[in-house]
Amino acid sequence: MATKNTPKKILLDESEMPTQWYNLVADLPVPPPPALHPGTHEPAGPEDFAPLFPMALIEQEVTTERYIDIPGEVLDIYKLWRPSPLFRAKRLEELLDTPARIYYKYEGVSPAGSHKPNTAVPQAYYNHKEGIKKLTTETGAGQWGSALAFATAQYGMELEVWQVAASYRAKPYRRTMMEIWGATVHSSPSEVTEFGRSLLAENPDHPGSLGIAISEAVAMCVADPEARYALGSVLNHVLMHQTIIGEEALLQLAKVDEVPDLLVGCTGGGSNFGGLAFPFMREKMAGNMNPTIRCVEPAACPSLTRGEYRYDFGDTAGMTPLLKMHTLGHSFIPDPIHAGGLRYHGMSPLVSHVYDQGMVEAIAIGQRECFDAAIKFAKTEGIVPAPEPTHALAAAIREALACKESGEDKVILTALCGHGHLDLAAYDAYLSGEMVDYDLPDEAVNEAMKSVPVLG
């Protein structure tokens, strides 16, 4: 049973930071299906995306180039926090009494406290470069909205954010963070869009949803030719920007002569998971390593394990192009679990595709097991994790305990995609015994799946 005297933190110098993003599409044996125009159901072309995104990002969305250079102006801002540290979870291993070696790549060191700035910064940059002065976006708990507020502040751009009303009311501090960086934040549904007004007319206390907030942000973007829209996950270019996580982790593991046996990552829209996993999938396809790669989703919003692989809309109002993805139906409203960033009805088309191809596995875990894992982690490793990556930690702990049984000294790698400093109310609910695991009946899934369009 091997033990390795790895340093606690494996750091990279700024000079060692990767200077290219990796595009998984270039290496896939079967290409992923294209997005479809919502009206014609024909493959969507660049012109269909042009009202929403700058041309550089549209090109990145469909490119088959293997690597894309990270612009110098983006690298300069990445250096505010990147390269991010890779930690060996030695104290957690000791608590679990496991022969496994657990590594976590920590993205909570970014200004917004999550991995989201990895794509927020280039998205703001390319818009700025094409003369765009204003962006619109949606946010749930606020991780993405605050990341984009930070990013637009770097380029002197305006930002309007539609935040899901339930979070806007319950978590005022994320809004404050967005305002510190200069953004304007609306509660969604809002009075400023027709869709929002129609929902508020039905219910003035409407709690909102991510799908509704996307509809509002897209509508406001389309109405203003000077504005563009930015999305924090799901799309190919977003996941590609996140691959800097995995590229750094590869360099860091190589520094300590480790090769992972298992990767685990939490999946909501798929950007944190893809960011970590895609560079390792390249190495696996090249025969350089052979890790198992496992998605971990919340039991209350199980798009991979209980959804279907179908063309569906990204938003509630049905305004976006149709994406082939694992979906629970765009009308699905998940139970109010604390991992707000994982409460999305669909899954990134690229992650859905590699899951469909059998290249990755998926499991679903309830939130109480996740917070139990989080407390164990905080007490040993110190960091209080965001609710989203507690899913990956719970899966890592399951595997480490299995190693204890089997005696295997597996190397487990996970991405700790953010800290939980703005999610302490969730911990309070767990510690006071008020947190519940929601049951998701088949009927609820079947009902929501009826909203998925039937294509001719």
Interface residue list for a second copy (CB under 8 A): 7-9, 11, 13-15, 76, 79-81, 91, 109-111, 113, 150, 153-154, 172-173, 176-177, 179-182, 375, 378-379, 381-384, 419, 421-422, 424-425, 427-428, 431
CA 420 centroid distance within chain: 15
20, 60 Cβ separation under 8 angstroms = no
Q: How many Å apart are CA 237 and CA 231, to the nearest integer?
A: 10
* Least Å from the CB of residue 98 to a second copy: 19
Shortest distance, position 6 Cβ to a second copy, whole Å: 11
Please identify, using beta-carbon distances, which residue of 27 and 73 lies nearer to a second copy: 73
Q: Of 84 and 233, which CB lies nearer to a second copy in the complex structure?
A: 84
Residue nearer to a second copy on the CB measure, 8 or 197: 8
Measured in whole angstroms, how far is the alpha carbon of residue 403 from the centre of its chain?
28
- Which C-beta is closer to a second copy: that of 145 or that of 270? 145
Nearer to a second copy, 324 or 419 (CB): 419
To which H or E segment does residue 135 belong?
Answer: strand 134-139
CA atoms of 154 and 157, how far apart (whole Å): 8
Nearest to 53 by CA among 145, 125, 158, 2: 125
Least separation, in Å, of the C-beta of 129 and a second copy?
A: 18
412: its two tokens: 């487990």
Q: 195 or 371, CB closer to a second copy?
A: 371
For 279, the 3-state DSSP assignment is helix
Smallest gap from residue 177 Cβ to a second copy (A):
6
- Of the pair 143, 348, the CB lying nearest a second copy is at 143
Rounded least distance, CB 72 to a second copy, Å = 13
SS3 letters across 5-55? CCCCEECCCHHHCCCEEECHHHHCCCCCCCCECCCCCCECCHHHHCCCCCH
Q: Are 452 and 327 in contact (CB under 8 A)?
A: yes
Q: How far is CA 176 from CA 43, 172, 181, 417, in A?
A: 40, 6, 9, 21
Q: Minimal distance in Å, beta carbon 100 to a second copy?
A: 19
DSSP-assigned beta bridge partners for residue 67: 22
Residue 371 to residue 47: CA distance in whole angstroms:
45
Q: How far is the CB of 296 from a second copy (least distance, A)?
A: 21
- Reported as type and span, the H/E element at residue 183 is none
Count of beta carbons in the 10 Å neighbourhood of residue 225? 8
Nearer to a second copy by C-beta: 28 or 378?
A: 378
CB of 95 to a second copy, least distance (A): 11
Q: What does the radius of gyration of the chain's CA atoms come to, in whole angstroms?
A: 21
Closest approach of Cβ 83 to a second copy, in Å? 9
222's enclosing H/E stretch is helix 210-223
- Residue with Cβ nearer a second copy (334 or 418): 418
